[in-house]
Amino acid sequence: MKITRIQTFLMHAGAPLSATGTKEGAAASVATATGLPLGDTRHWLFVKVHTDAGIVGLGEGSGWPLVVEAAVRDLAPTLIGENAADIERLWQKMFLAMAGHGQTGVVGAGAITAIEMALWDIKGKALGTPVWNLLGGKVRDRIRVYAHASSPEQAKACVALGYRAIKTGGVIDPVGKIAAIRDAVGQDVDLMVDLHGPPGLQTKDALLIGRALEPYRLLFWEEPVPAENIDGLRRLRDAVAIPLASGERLATIFAFRDLLREPVVDVIQPDTGRCGGISQLRKIGAMAEAEHVGVAPHSGSLGPVAEMAAIHVLATLPNALIMEQFAVDWPGRFRVTPGAVRPENGHLIVPDTPGLGIELVEEEVASNPPTRNSGIRATAKSNSYEEGTYAEHALVQTRFRRARTLT
């Protein structure tokens, strides 16, 4: 079964809605990491791998989709004529092909991920079995998911939709937000906080926030310091009684080793679209299992195909904790991939269809052409970040008005 052709499909995807149905809530809470509302920059990149047997595999790559598309096109000729069943060997071939480019972190890994995911889809379709069955079989039939909320009203709306786990985020008054949400939803809902690890957030700032968050018994506290600040994570691990989470910006087993060899976190958050692929995610999960660390994949702006890949892998991981999801995503999601799994009572049901169990409607992709895929918003007048908003530079957010911000 030889690979004959690799196609890419890049599209603009709309912003998710908040649980209360407004555009601002969930999109704004996600925007803290980049400054721009997610709806302005969110893109999905899908890949189709064709074979001479007529079987076509579908994959998705995140990690800057606009650039990942170019990487997939550049890698494609090295795969034409290869046996689509040789997934591990082809992963190694693609990784080696990127050695000359420095292997390129999540962008290169996003390209490898998209192609490798499609190879698993092909193998499952060829054998008539779901991908989870190829990975060793299920340990669960449904995956618990969490939603986002930035206010008590949104949190209550998430609970009304069936969610029992909610995350809020940002470095502006996270303690006040979580206190109000805990008050609104009670003790039976798991809560999480994501500080998005902005560059200016120093360990002592985070320590102050963490001590104030301790009474709320969070499920985890995400990126309390920048992801690269391993020493900071270590200090927080030892000083604050909240499970720590990180890893959405990392790719491959080699990067996750830095988080796991001690370990410095309690939960790892590989992004299914850019961590290196299904087999890398399975290996990263096993590394975490050996350290008694949970796996809670990052979703963020992720599309429906990579989410489906996450469902298949999490179905097989004994240490899968929970998965990120938008409670009410952009409605176009289900036009692009009608087979995308819809949450039921805060869970995603593991599918039994062969391969990944999801197909692409190419006409819908074409009707949402790509636009701008990155950026930080600046005011037109001064060309500076807007004070007091999500667009303000993260360093300023945490260094000034410290008494008000870090309460």
Minimum separation from the CB atom of position 213 to Mg ion (A):
16
**Is 347 in the active site?**
no
CA distances from 349 to 143, 145, 343 (A): 6, 11, 8
Q: Output the residue with the shortest Cβ distance to Mg ion.
A: 194
Cite the DSSP H helix spans in 76-202. Answer: 87-97, 105-127, 131-134, 152-160, 174-185
For Mg ion, give the closer residue by CB, 132 or 220.
220
Stretch that binds Mg ion, among 79-87, 100-108, 194-202, 384-392 (CB under 5 A): 194-202
Number of H helices, E strands in the chain: 17, 12
For Mg ion, give the closer residue by CB, 83 or 374.
374
Q: Print the binding letters for residues 144-183 with Mg ion: x by CB under 5 A, - otherwise.
A: ----------------------------------------
Minimum separation from the CB atom of position 224 to Mg ion (A):
11
Q: Does 194 bind Mg ion (CB under 5 A)?
A: yes
For Mg ion, give the closer residue by CB, 116 or 194.
194
Residue 91 Cα to chain centre, angstroms: 21
Q: Print the binding letters for residues 329-368 with Mg ion: x by CB under 5 A, - otherwise.
A: ----------------------------------------
Helix axes 105-127 and 87-97, enclosed angle (nearest 10): 160
Q: Map 160-187 to HEC letters.
A: HCCCCEEEEECCCCHHHHHHHHHHHHCC
Helix (H, G, I), strand (E, B) or coil at 64: coil
Stretch that binds Mg ion, among 188-196, 234-242, 303-311, 387-395 (CB under 5 A): 188-196
Tell me which amino acid residue 6 is.
Answer: I
Place of tokens 């952009």: 330
For Mg ion, give the closer residue by CB, 146 or 385.
146
Tell me which amino acid residue 135 is.
Answer: L
Minimum separation from the CB atom of position 222 to Mg ion (A):
5
- DSSP secondary structure code for residue 302 in this structure: -
**Is 196 in the active site?**
yes
Minimum separation from the CB atom of position 223 to Mg ion (A):
6
Residue 92 Cα to chain centre, angstroms: 23
The residues in 206-265 that bind Mg ion, with binding defined as CB under 5 A, are: none
Query: Cβ neighbours of residue 228 under 8 Å, at least 6 residues apart?
Result: none
Minimum separation from the CB atom of position 90 to Mg ion (A):
30
Q: Which two tokens stand for residue 93?
A: 């071939």
Radius of gyration of the chain (CA): 20
Q: Which of 50, 298, 312, 347 is catalytic?
A: 298
Minimum separation from the CB atom of position 144 to Mg ion (A):
18
For Mg ion, give the closer residue by CB, 33 or 155.
33
Number of residues that bind Mg ion (CB under 5 A): 1
Stretch that binds Mg ion, among 133-141, 160-168, 173-181, 191-199 (CB under 5 A): 191-199
Half-sphere exposure of 306 (CA within 13 A, CB side): 35
Minimum separation from the CB atom of position 298 to Mg ion (A):
6
Q: Which of 196, 292, 347, 393 is catalytic?
A: 196
Q: Which two tokens stand for residue 376?
A: 């930080």
The residues in 43-102 that bind Mg ion, with binding defined as CB under 5 A, are: none
Cβ pair 61, 11 in contact under 8 A: no
For Mg ion, give the closer residue by CB, 190 or 194.
194
Enclosing H/E stretch for 208: helix 203-213
For Mg ion, give the closer residue by CB, 194 or 266.
194
Stretch that binds Mg ion, among 38-46, 193-201, 211-219, 283-291 (CB under 5 A): 193-201
Cite the DSSP H helix spans in 241-340. Answer: 252-260, 278-290, 304-316, 333-336
- Residues in the site for Mg ion, rule: CB under 5 A? 194
Residues with catalytic function: 196, 298
